[in-house]
Structure 1
């Protein structure tokens, strides 16, 4: 049975005073308790907010403009001046770089929920609402998108108001930087890549038009224009970048969010100040600080003493947090889905028409032949299926998530289970898994590299470690590579990494969004590409009929399932610890990613 590994370790990269305080508290407070799993998706001990619906229809909608549009608001005449500081403990933030050409995951989610704002934000039903964009219209043939911006949205640091020139500049930089997982799709949509007749035209200071040359499923567009998630984007001042240069502007970026960067130290903290008279929401607190605190025990200790108001929490700390006087646990269903990515499955040719440089069929799960009827393919398929049925997903949910979740076998369908294929289930059977490895030609097993993607999800490292235990049980030797996600990510983009990763993502606006990681045109890669994938995705991604989109999604993922090209472990709830100084009655700024708390501009003093 997998066990949580949260023993105290040496803390690094914290300001000296904070380090001394946390070390002292660790000895005073001891380790966290472990709760008995309740077996319920949302235990009653956790106060709940409105759940993310299980039948989000965001993908299918091709409607012009939402009926309820956000507007730039005037500050009340008697507005109270922001005061106090919100301190947040994060596992990892990385270097502060806010320019679109330099920003990358896992920093994206922290930047977009503080200094940045997307053109749209995603509401509870997974449909888009206006943000920096005031409205949009899609032509009847789904080829022309007309965007109108909110008037009077100011940049930080005195760089004036947002215009369409800033918007087009920003998205061109997202594309050229090629660090965002959806950079390639941004280039296609706006026409920056020059591969089609797609083009962007500025109409006036607040209006621009995008001709896409071929139809786009709207949810694919909203995903990279939204706020608050791992592939979110924001607008920056073109004038600042031209005046200071990109490198200098990036570390003191002028964007539009309710928080403005004022100080930062790599691996230590990011400090923001409230933007007074913000067009959307002036924060109630004067400062927001993200502290980089890699160790769970140190984050828990900081929360217990009131030095942290919120932190990225592992579920085995819930009982300890519940015991903190005045603390509140805020529950949000469908926060994340933990997947397994099998890297090295780079079949066919890359986007430039070349063979993949790092394709390595010597790995047991990679076929030496892309023909799905070949013996080589069937042997590799047996290996992948064996590794899947060797995992006891329910035990992982019960022990590492304390019941705050449910097993999942194919990622990207969280919140859309009602229309998923009910046959997508792996029954736990380690004895059969051993037989399958023998049949595939590996009676003595083989060696793999396993890397947890450390991005702030609950139990992400412990879950990956549990996979190692299950696989070692059937004879596979596992080398765990514990490195920051920001370190490994470049090798994922270049398709160089060879091994298996555990990666947790948020809810997809539609499953097709998850599918978009597999075509050769995707900047980001799950290490799995095949000509059949591109063929199926190409058909589904240009549909405009909701029923045809959904049929295409099922066709895509049925093929992925039949060939065990990718898999999942579980769906987990979001549980946010809220400290005694914060009023817990606030909602996320964006519902497309609720793995960790967001919306601190709406948080009031308690």
Structure 2
């Protein structure tokens, strides 16, 4: 679990089974090119050597990621890179354990008192990094603010009102029954913020010098596109971290990250590129940890643009791309072809949808039927080395059916801003569902109310899609919910706003003697117990 030792984790899990209803999930994050492109599986996952006995030695940890964070304001975050720092600096009402289960965090318990009202009882010992208490007023402020923020409004769209019952209890009233809500509150962009700090900073909140959290670490510094450093929060209310400081170095090139790990410049690489996995496996000084991820890598199409309004064009592109070749070449076999729009680790995924086969001749037929027998020219926007390599394969394969693709590679923040503006035609991106509810793989990405920054980068508007998403979200019978998601996946497969590529594995590289690190099922790994033996 993210913030507690084994004993406390067991107690929390027990409390969860007694107090919390069956967990689902909701919310998700875009993955960076490095994180999204990383796949791998030689080890079945597991811990780096855990701390058992002996004296603790080095506790200042440095790790590497492929891109920089975009903000220190939780409500401004919707990407996996930034969620790493948010999860270490802030706390959420509920959390997701290493095993993918819903567990207490700032809220020690909750109760669904009727179809629409959730009562959350807050911990009375939780304090901010400045030592002041976390109160129900901060929770109300967080959710009221999130309703008006582009990257959080979808997660709070069903929140009608937040009522402060007392200093340590809130009632969140929804506009309608919404089954995924209990897990949506665990999403990192709904981390609770301090009303006083945000109000004082105004629109500037999210800089290194004004971020106030209630998590196990505080922000010491942030040098954009270079590094950030976290320090142990002396006022943290939970189990004290073993790690005293965490520094993240931004190293965009995958091979440079791997070399930094092998030479000992960094203790951990969050996202090992597939091309570097075998080198790490062959080096006894380091270790590759790998597990199936909850993410999907895909080619998205902006259905509002001229060429991509036609469903036959989108289907043709699905037939024209050899997904298995992408798995074999780009991720070196460390992944599986995606058959659907939901990852196969998420409840609600169905195997009754078959991935489009590689069939260039069928693709040409559909292009001719759509009125493009000679093809057309278009733009493909990407970020990072891994997705640029994917884009080059897509470019070559689409050329076979007459589509000329011009590739533009952008820096991560600029890439997201460009997609938000909706000027793109095609793009390659990944989506990670860290809370394991199918709503987190569908609502933000395909509902017509979520165009742009909220998640629907295809800018798709379809009444049937909207209806199925909402039927599933409002259904409390789990079996019926799964039927709705199966129907939705079948329909999306035919509609083809994306060309799903593959379900990747998460690869993390660590120094062989690093202790205290454990893979999180949703790739929300906690670094607060990383250390070396003396």
Q: 1:281-307 deviations in whole A, cap 9, x for unaligned?
A: 322222111111112232222112101
Indicate which of 97, 101, 110 corresponds to 1:136. Answer: 110
Q: Deviations over 1:543-600 (max 9, x none)?
A: 22212211221222221112223331111111210024522x5324x53x31xx7210
Largest Rg, 1 or 2: 1
Query: In structure 2, what is the equivalent of residue 222 of structure 1?
Result: 183
Q: CA deviation at 1:163?
A: 0.8
Number of the residue aligned with 1:422: 352
Q: Which aligned pairs between 1:26-105 and structure 2 lie closer than 5 A? A: 42-43=41-42, 46=43, 48-49=45-46, 84-95=59-70, 97-105=71-79
Say if 1:142 and 1:42 are closer, same or farther in 2 by CA, change over 3 A.
same
Contact 1:47 1:328 in 2 (8 A): no
Query: Which secondary structure does the structure 1 equivalent of 2:392 belong to?
Result: helix
Alpha carbons of 1:413 and 1:303: their partners in 2 closer, same or farther (altered >3 Å)?
Answer: closer
Greater RCO (CA < 8 Å, at least 6 residues apart): 2
1:550 matched residue in structure 2: 482
For structure 2, the residue ranges without an aligned partner over 5 or more in a row are 1-38, 48-53
Q: In structure 2, do the counterparts of structure 1 residues 107 and 537 end up closer, same or farther at CA, with 3 Å as the change threshold? A: same
Distance in 1 (alpha carbons) for counterparts of 2:125 and 2:288? 37
Matched, 1:262 2:220: yes
Quote the residue 1:497 is aligned against.
423
Larger helix percent: 2
1:575 maps to 2:507: yes
Checking the alignment, whether the CA contact within 8 Å between 2:128 and 2:235 is kept in structure 1 is no
Alignment of 1:134-213 (within 5 A): 134-139=108-113, 141-156=114-129, 158-178=130-150, 180=151, 182-186=152-156, 188-190=157-159, 198-213=160-175
Could you tell me which of 518, 524, 532 is aligned with 2:455?
524
Alpha-carbon displacement from aligned partner over 1:427-477 (angstroms, at most 9, x marks no partner): 1112322232223221221112112255xxx93442233222221222211
Contact 1:138 1:144 in 2 (8 A): yes
Do the aligned partners of residues 81 and 331 (structure 1) sit closer, same or farther apart at CA in structure 2, a change above 3 Å counting? closer
User: What are the within-5 Å matches in structure 2 for residues 271-286 of structure 1?
Assistant: 271-276=229-234, 278-286=236-244
Q: Say whether the 8 Å CA contact 2:320–2:359 is kept in structure 1.
A: yes
Provide Cα deviations, 1:252-308, integer angstroms capped at 9, x if missing partner. Answer: 311012121011111111111112463223222221111111122322221121011
Q: 1:155: Cα distance to partner?
A: 1.2
TM-score, with structure 2 as normaliser: 0.83
Normalising by the residue count of structure 1, what TM-score does the alignment of the two structures yield? Answer: 0.74
- 1:130 shift after superposition: 1.0
Q: Is the alpha carbon distance of 1:423 and 1:479 closer, same or farther for their aligned partners in structure 2, counting shifts above 3 Å?
A: same
Q: Distance in 2 between matches of 1:213 and 1:436?
A: 43
Deviation readout 1:114-142 (Å, 9 max, x if unpaired): 21222222235643111121111112x42
Partners of 2:461 and 2:319 lie apart in 1 by: 23
1:409 aligned partner: 339
Structure 2 CA distance for partners of 1:166 and 1:579, relative to 1, 3 Å:
same
RMSD: 2.8
Matched with 2:19 is none
Change (3 A) 1:464 1:521: same
The 1:227/1:384 distance shift into structure 2, 3 A limit, reads closer
Flag the 1:505–1:184 CA change in 2: closer, same or farther, 3 A: closer
Give 1:534 deviation, angstroms. 1.9
Q: Structure 2 CA distance, aligned partners of 1:432 and 1:335?
A: 31
1:365 alignment partner, one of 301, 308, 311? 308
Counting matched residue pairs gives 482
Instruction: Quote the residue 2:3 is aligned against.
Output: none
Structure 1 residues not aligned, in runs of 5+: 1-39, 51-78, 191-197, 346-358, 367-379
Query: Is the contact made by 2:337 and 2:355 (CA closer than 8 Å) also made in structure 1?
Result: no
**Structure 1 residue 342, shift from structure 2 partner:** 1.3
